[in-house]
Chains A and B, each alone.
Chain A
Amino acid sequence: MAESVLKLKINGFVRRVAVSDQETLLEVLRYTLGLTGSKQGCDKGDCGACTVLVDGEPVLACLSLAKRNADKEILTIEGLSGPEGPHAVQDAFDNAGAMQCGFCQPGMILSAAALLERDPEPDDEAIRHALSGNLCRCTGYTRIFTAVRQAAGIEADRKGVDPRPAPAPPVDPKLP
């Protein structure tokens, strides 16, 4: 089997990895680079848990050969949040209670982020359509739709939800 050294631009950084011809992008991300946020649910393009953004578009990493992604901009769930904290979509998913087992969420969140990039105020039909390649088995999607609407600012946050992370414990200088 042929092997080559590949330059992949992942989450803003160029990574050089040795890949064989038949290795998928998902295998390289998960097992070579340790970016395990992208999940493998079926390994045949049915579930969408492996979704990453390639040049801003959702791509099934389990069906994409690694070597075909040379010189492209790849964004995984790990790259979506930064030093300033979680991305608005990640925060909205947490806030709306869209998360149960969480296994489909990295792919789902990236699909939602890509949707909001190209359509900042999607209607319900557009949301349903954009996420239809990402299977969720826990939620019935209801709260996922809410999360996307919240991230887009179309729907207000549920009242009474605590901001996260919680404030640090009060420090009393008198304490030993």
Chain B
Amino acid sequence: MSDKKKRDQGGADIVKGKASPIHGVDLPGGDVIGRPLRKADGLDKATGLALYTDDIQFPDMLHAKILRSPLPHARIKSIDYSEALAMDGVVDVMVGSELPIPYCVIPWTRDETALCTDKVRFIGDGVAAVAAVDEATAIEACKRIKVDYEALKPILTIEAAKQPPEDEAIHVGNRRGNQHKYVDLSFGDLDAGFRHSTSIAHDDYYFHGTTHAPIEPHCAIGKPEPGGQLCIISATQVPHYLQRELARVLGMAQQNIRVIQPALGGAFGGKSEPFDLEFVVAHLARKTGRPVKCLYTREEVFYSHRGRHPMAMNFKVGLDDEGKIQAVRSKIDLDGGAYSSFGLVTTYYAGQLLTGPYDFASYGFTSTRYYTNKPCCGPKRGHGSVQPRFAFECALDEAAAGLGLDPMTVRERNTMPRVATTVNGMRVQSNGFLACLQAARKASGWDEKWGKLPRGRGIGVAGSMYISGTNYPVYPNEMPQSGVTVQLDRSGRALVLCGASDIGQGSDSMFTYIVAEELGIEPGHVRIVSSDTDLTPVDLGAYSSRITFMAGNACIDACRRLRKLLLEAAATALGQSAKRLRLAGGYAVAVDDTAVSLPMQEVFRLAEAENGTLSASGWYNTPLLGGEYRGGTIGSSPAYSFTCHVAEVDIDLETGELRVPKVWVAHDCGRALNPVIVEGQMEGSTYMGAAELMMEDQDFYPADHAAPGLHLGPSLLDYPIPTSSEVPEFEALIIESLDPEGPYGAKEAGEGPLHSTIPAIANAIHDAVGIRLKTLPITAAKIWRALQETH
């Protein structure tokens, strides 16, 4: 596939002459970087040896189960667990009042407790937990806990949440009723922008709820250790934030809590904050003095959720005579579910991340998040901006149609400059969007297809932009966002220590490649210890597509300190100037005479003899970024990735059945440190986006149903995710714009390539049958109905 790779070498021009404090600008020869190497943990996983959380057992371990609310909204009047506690095999029971300190991953919106203390807010809210000798006993004991509820009227829609609460607000004391967060921002002169527009598209769109559905369910083990310490092993993607919140809620010193994340079976944002089971196993381990494990059932995974927010969106896009975007205005309501989660950020992201890849001078959004009595929404891959991107890109096509413009042309015409500051103050230093459009246009045969395919078949395009990490950590501090320590061993090995979470995206492999590149050793001689808060420097975790950019830069920083010592040692031994030496392929070698060389193992030993034990730490922190207004830092990132999708569809005009035979995804990842892994992220993102449009639906029975608030089908059968038989064909086209601050020029690839999948398919449906479907998911039934109406 690498021969298909399209390089945007023109991007290098923005690098020239810029002095950056970050090492990423100078590009090495690429002995390792840029090659399609195997992953560091590939064979471990292929042979079944990799240990995931539920694979870990401890002697004397207990099993915990959480009793969950059968009601969507109710006060807890009393809990009687005496019968459960008396059962043979039950060791302990806990209730919410034992851990009443509220938590949230965002410290400003702590509105959740480990287990409910006074009321339940969705079907599935945790009420009590049992520790027993085995899981079956714990399940049986949960059934014998008597909870007396006083039912309250459930609030299940955005519209209901806007009304004054009939019984009481979901969070009593919230001064805005069931409104959680309100953001209203405007930039430039919107009125003038729409006055100058000759074609205006203005419509309502709706993005439904979808969930992450990682194949590994959440699991956690709490383990008491000597000296009053507590070790939590968890399927989390944010060990550092989990450690902080555990310490607060348990009332323990942070240094007495160790969080370890073993191999992780998928996350996609669904494991990026603390969950009830982590507090439960920690507390029960502390109470019983024994290790305690809790494994969610698949049903619990659906109810714990934190997935994509349903959004009701009104979008207005204005184009002038030439098809230039003059103004964009949106009003967005978010259905947040029962708690905050990352919701404060989501509310901002819904507006803040839409100001690229197109250049426009006036923009405004009003974004409001509401509490409802449903599982809490949060960040899912492409956090906050996947939903408005769908609406925006559909509206852009509509407005372009008003001018008779080709959707590809209107996007090319509006592409922002390579180096730019967006209307809301985001700094963009590398931008390969135009190359993405051109690559996808060519590969897909756009010019021969758009508007020319027979009825029922169509092609569509959409573009997007996404962050490579956020500028500010979720709790304000001046310390590095990522730290990496590299130790060199006289056997010839390097050990990398970093708090970053490999959740399958390949961050451990990324460290391997960087160390091998920088120190000239074989990738197989690099060992990684990651995501263990006792052993590794802090990295803030796997979210916001931050690890390659931030931890990658930190790793280069550590390596360059060691590299200097290694080059000096080799130079002395070989009688050469250090400048004339390369470290590559396991040797220090003279650039002009390859016969002059020394194995790296010997170089390590010489350097250790000269300098003492070899170890260095490197770190990364973002420069000061963001607009000068309240919320101006939310969405500001050191670099932005760019994506273009072109999708082809094939619709059965009799039944409305939608097939997506192929999707082309062109993504500007700055630089592909390993093109196989980057293409894997692009394909996986595109698959997930296509699935959201075509079939996935995280929805709940309405208020007038016998079981309001109940999930429609919390299983991997009823919540369909595409099988190998249903998945479209993908073609990944890598574009490299070389970001001046990214490691070797790299930016993110894990989330950006999801966004524009959805509008590209929606736009292709329009090309195929001339109908504009504005409510997701787009099922055969919806297409069929629309086809009937247009007849």
B-side residues, CB < 8 A to A, are 1-2, 35-39, 41-52, 54-55, 57, 212-217, 263-268, 295, 297-298, 491-493, 503-506, 522-525, 586, 599-602, 605, 676-677, 679-680, 683-684, 686-688, 715-717, 721, 723-725, 727, 729-730
Contact = CB atoms under 8 A, between A and B. Distances in A.
A80 to B, nearest CB: 8
Contacts of B52: 36, 39, 103
A99 B45 contact: yes
24 contacts: A36-B48, A36-B55, A37-B48, A39-B215, A41-B217, A46-B717, A95-B38, A99-B39, A100-B505, A101-B214, A102-B44, A103-B52, A136-B215, A137-B266, A140-B688, A140-B730, A142-B730, A143-B680, A145-B724, A158-B1, A162-B38, A166-B523, A169-B492, A169-B493
B46 A100 contact: no
Nearest to A174: B602
A104 interface: yes
Nearest to B683: A140
A44 to B, nearest CB: 6
A120 interface: no
A37 B217 CA distance: 15
A47 B215 contact: yes
Contact of A39 (B36, B38, B265): B265
A28 B109 CA distance: 44
Most central of B36, B46, B266, B505 by chain A CB within 10 Å? B46
A144 interface: yes
B212 to A, nearest CB: 8
B49 to A, nearest CB: 7
Contact of B46 (A39, A105, A132, A172): A105
A86 interface: yes
A43 interface: yes
Contacts of B216: 39, 41, 101, 103
B504 A140 contact: no
Interface in A37-67: 37-44, 46-47, 49
Interface residues of A, number: 70
Contact of A99 (B46, B492, B523, B599): B46
B523 A162 contact: yes
A79 B51 CA distance: 17
B302 to A, nearest CB: 10
Contacts of B44: 102
Contact of A37 (B49, B267, B600): B49
Given A36-B55, A102-B41, A172 B523 contact: no
B263 A102 contact: yes
Contacts of B266: 100-101, 103, 137-138
The 10 closest A-B pairs by CB, nearest first: A37-B48, A166-B524, A101-B504, A103-B265, A102-B45, A140-B687, A77-B48, A36-B55, A94-B42, A97-B676
Nearest to B524: A166
A131 interface: yes
A15 B45 CA distance: 25
Nearest to B719: A46
B37 A162 contact: yes
A42 B687 contact: no
Contacts of A165: 43, 524
Given A43-B297, A94-B46, A166-B524, A135 B721 contact: yes
Given A43-B297, A99-B45, A158-B1, 16 more contacts: A34-B57, A41-B215, A46-B716, A47-B215, A77-B47, A93-B42, A94-B46, A101-B504, A103-B266, A137-B213, A137-B266, A158-B2, A161-B38, A161-B676, A166-B525, A169-B492
Contact of A132 (B51, B676, B723): B723
A90 B50 CA distance: 14
B683 A143 contact: yes
A150 interface: no
